[in-house]
Amino acid sequence: MEELIEKLKKEVIQQLNLEDIKPEDIAADSPLFGEGLGLDSIDALELIVLLEKNYGLKIEDPKDGKKIFHSIQSMAEYITANQKA
Amino acid sequence: MKLVIVSYAGITPYGIRINEQSRLPEEKFSTFAPFIKSLYKEEGINYPKFYKMDSLSKLGFLSAEVMMKVVNPALADPEKTGVVLSNAASSLDTDHAHQETIRNRSEYFPSPSVFVYTLPNIMIGEICIRHHLKGENAFLISRNFDSHLLYRYVTGLFQSRRVEACITGWVDLLKDQFRSLLMMVVPAEKAVIAEGRGSWFPFSTKTMDTLFNQT
């Protein structure tokens, strides 16, 4: 899980063009939206694309997004639970 | 109504021009991305969304940023300041980037953050958000810098009392070819009231052509 979390931090920084932010600046459990990294609605769509492109995971119900994209930790947990072996 | 250009700013690969002052970039770059990032840092701007913009918006944003630094706030009430910009390439640079993400059916992952910039007037939106401008805006496409087109449109806005100040000019970018010229236009009477006597330029096609060729 730790390895996946570090990988996800790098992918999120790259995908969302978060210049001046380093992986160590992102706490795994801190919120990605709102007070955390201050991501916006377009970033949310980019995260959906990231999950599909890099992990083959499609979010079928948009309501699940809020929970899945709460933090890097929650994203990692979702990937671990849903990715095919 | 007599209109004047109170400030202007332009960015080319050779550097920035703000009113009569030219400034060379601290470093030389052969491509746009590191060039504009370097200028952004040199200007000491802290606006993280800059990094998420497409290249055209970065060019327009930074051009507006350096110009607005030298504009007397009394001359441009954000509520009544319009933006009328033009270029030749529209958003083609970003259109190509978007096309790359959808070209291959087996690798079909359109990027929402790229797609949102596939219209050139999004750049105007970025400028308006930054400076809280709420006046009328328009983006015009022409093969070359067309001072007559801008003159007609901008004077029309003033005559119909839709704006009390207006940013106009050219912001064009395709790959690593780019050029911008932004001008702040206000009624001469307003400039006199706010600043007394100043060295403004008359807002005319001749002045715009001269400034464009200087930058």
Q: What is the pLDDT of residues A65-77, one digit of tens each?
A: 889 999 999 999 9
CATH number of the domain that residue A6 is part of? 1.10.1200.10
pLDDT band, very low/low/confident/very high, at B23 (cuts 50, 70, 90): confident
Asked if pLDDT for residue A17 goes beyond 70, the answer is yes
Q: What is the mean pLDDT of residues B196-210?
A: 92
Asked if pLDDT for residue A19 goes beyond 90, the answer is no
CB distance A49–B51 less than 8 Å?
no
Average pLDDT, chain B: 94
CB distance B112–A49 less than 8 Å?
yes
Q: What is the CA radius of gyration of chain A?
A: 12
pLDDT band, very low/low/confident/very high, at A85 (cuts 50, 70, 90): low
Is the CB of B51 inside 8 Å of chain A's CB atoms?
yes
**How many CB pairs lie under 8 A apart between chains A and B?**
28
Q: Based on the structure, what is the number of domains in chain B?
A: 1
Q: What is the pLDDT of residues A25-52, one digit of tens each?
A: 999 999 999 877 778 889 999 999 999 9
Q: What is the mean pLDDT of residues A55-67?
A: 88
pLDDT band, very low/low/confident/very high, at B25 (cuts 50, 70, 90): confident
CATH number of the domain that residue B190 is part of? 3.40.47.10
Could you tell me if B178 and B11 are in contact, meaning their C-beta atoms sit under 8 angstroms apart? yes
**CA dihedral defined by A22, A26, A32, A37, rounded to 10 degrees?**
-50
Asked if pLDDT for residue B65 goes beyond 90, the answer is yes
Which residue has better confidence, B20 or B204? B204
Query: Cβ neighbours of residue B27 under 8 Å, at least 6 residues apart?
Result: B38
Which residue has better confidence, A84 or B3? B3
- Which residues from chain A sit within 8 angstroms of residue B52, using beta carbons? 16-17, 42
Q: What percentage of residues in chain B have a pLDDT greater than 90?
A: 83
Give the integer Cα–Cα distance in Å for B136 and B133. 9
| Per-residue model confidence (pLDDT) at position B48 | 86
Tell me the residue type at B59: L
Domain region containing A13: 2-82
| Per-residue model confidence (pLDDT) at position B3 | 98
CB distance A46–B48 less than 8 Å?
no
Count of Cβ atoms closer than 10 Å to residue A53 Cβ:
17
Q: Based on the structure, what is the number of domains in chain A?
A: 1
For chain B, the residue count is: 215
Could you tell me if A71 and A32 are in contact, meaning their C-beta atoms sit under 8 angstroms apart? yes
Domain region containing B71: 3-214
Asked if pLDDT for residue A57 goes beyond 80, the answer is yes
Q: What is the pLDDT of residues B33-60, one digit of tens each?
A: 999 999 999 999 999 899 999 999 999 9
Q: What is the pLDDT of residues B111-145, one digit of tens each?
A: 999 999 999 999 999 999 999 999 999 999 999 99
User: pTM here?
Assistant: 0.92
| Per-residue model confidence (pLDDT) at position A70 | 93
CB distance A46–B52 less than 8 Å?
no
Q: What is the mean pLDDT of residues A51-68?
A: 89
Average pLDDT, chain A: 90
Q: What is the pLDDT of residues B157-193, one digit of tens each?
A: 999 999 999 999 999 999 999 999 999 999 999 999 8
Is the CB of B109 inside 8 Å of chain A's CB atoms?
yes
